[in-house]
Amino acid sequence: MGQDDGDSRKAPEVTRCVPDMASVGTVLDLQGYRLGAVGNYSDRVKIHFIQGEVSRVGRRGDGQGVTNDEHHGFQHLDVNVPEGLALGPCRVTVEVDGQESAPIEIEITEWRPPEITSISPPWARPGEHIFLEGSGFHVSDDIVLVDAQGRRHQFEPGHAARDSGKTLPADLAEGEATLWIVNRHNPDDQPSRSITLQISCGPTPLKIWPDMLMPVAPGQWLNLVVTTLKPLEGAERAEVAFQQNSQIISPIVDYEFPRVEVPRNLSPGKVSLQTRTWRNGKSSPWSPAVSYQLLAQPAAPQIEVIEIGSPDNASFIHLYEGPDRPQNFTIEPGKTMVWRGKFLVASVERLRVIIEGYGSAWTITPVAGSNSGQMKIELPQDIPKGDWQLIVRDLDYGTSYKVPIRMRIE
């Protein structure tokens, strides 16, 4: 659907490897195009490490790519540096379905400590999952954690190129813990730099990913993108503080899909965001402030996925840009669709779905779905066959979103 089969047979292209100096067991982040990082490629991708006459195949890890850009979009592919390589230069290629990329050169070195850049979340409860973000992690790494009472814990993390995660022990003492990474096989090697983590059995704040937030204007609803929803479990209240000229605190709603109404008396431009949660009448500390840019004009709603059919046998149409996005989808009159996206309103009853074409138009009021990121649209029984344009309109602000593919009635 919407895919160029000729282009899909082009060879993979590796543009970068992070890190480019690595020891045996390092988890590399290969970056580029057509790497087989998404889709059913597990048996058709090989990563070759070549030194002269010696060639080794690395074990593939996780991969990431754009949903509708399976063959053309920028991708990340994790791979472990295999045994049997000597110190010195090494060429790396990616082979997908028999097509091999041009090589990229890395340096094989002795074990080097990983580079830890941050920890997510910076506050955690005992037993919660955390991620150490950075690069240069190894399959032979261990995390060392010393809790606030000086007790030492050592455990094997999960392994990925850009983060190294683990569920914390359930018996950690409250207070500041210190973590670092060591070489399990040679503990005397230089460890990574240490990083601190606040352990609390009480309420903890949410950590917002500001780069993942959709830009909205004052008065609109903002979907929060956070590292974990754990702080909301059992919370009696959760809040966002908007700091511009003064602090304005707004409640977070819909804890499974958290969102907040941006205060109307804020001005367009830069604003800082902080979060906190409440348990048993006590609040967590405020999270570190993150910067966010408010729009001068309201944003339009966004539809990301259209779901058709029963929950047990549903088909999903992804609307993200890319050559794999279809040009249309097919549905019968009278059927119900579920739309997923960012609606930016208090209730989907403030939206209208307009079906246009052939000199006719229908206006439909959507029905709330099972969560704030879903809404249901029931098609008219008497809509004629043909291809129709779909538009979502916000009644409060007059903004509109035109669905980028057409609906075909058969």
Secondary structure element (H or E) that encloses residue 5, with its range:
helix 5-8
Residue bearing tokens 């029984």 = 381
What's the confidence (pLDDT) of residue 381? Answer: 93
What's the confidence (pLDDT) of residue 5? Answer: 37
What's the confidence (pLDDT) of residue 66? Answer: 55
Question: Which tops the pLDDT comparison, 43 or 410?
Answer: 410
CATH number of 115-199: 2.60.40.10
Fold category of 210-294 in CATH: Immunoglobulin-like (2.60.40)
Using the predicted structure, report yes or no on whether residue 145 has a pLDDT greater than 70.
Answer: yes
| Strand runs labelled E in 232-385 | 237-243, 247-253, 259-261, 269-279, 282-283, 290-294, 302-308, 315-318, 328-331, 336-342, 351-357, 360-364, 367-368, 374-378
In this prediction, residues 356-369 reach a mean pLDDT of: 92
In this prediction, residues 192-197 reach a mean pLDDT of: 94
In this prediction, residues 48-57 reach a mean pLDDT of: 94
Mean pLDDT, rounded, of the chain? 89
**CB 295, CB 396: distance < 8 Å:** no
Return all residues near 224 (Cβ < 8 A) that are at least 6 apart.
Answer: 206, 208, 213, 240, 252, 258, 259, 260, 275
What are the sequence ranges of the domains in the chain?
5-108, 115-199, 210-294, 302-409
> What is residue 210's DSSP assignment?
G
Using the predicted structure, report yes or no on whether residue 71 has a pLDDT greater than 60.
Answer: no
What's the confidence (pLDDT) of residue 115? Answer: 92
Residue 140 and residue 96: Cα distance in Å, rounded? 28
Percentages helix, strand, coil for the chain, rounded to the nearest 5?
5, 50, 50
Whether the pTM exceeds 0.85: the reply is no
What's the confidence (pLDDT) of residue 28? Answer: 93
Fold category of 5-108 in CATH: Immunoglobulin-like (2.60.40)
pLDDT in tens, 303-336: 999 999 887 888 899 888 877 788 999 999 999 9
% of the chain at pLDDT higher than 90 = 65
What is 221-257 written as a DSSP string?
A: EEE--BS-SGGGTT-SEEEEEEESSSEEEEEEE-TTS
Domains 5-108 and 115-199 share a fold: yes
Domain 302-409 in CATH 2.60.40.10: yes
Choice among 33-42, 107-116, 176-185 with the minimum mean pLDDT? 33-42
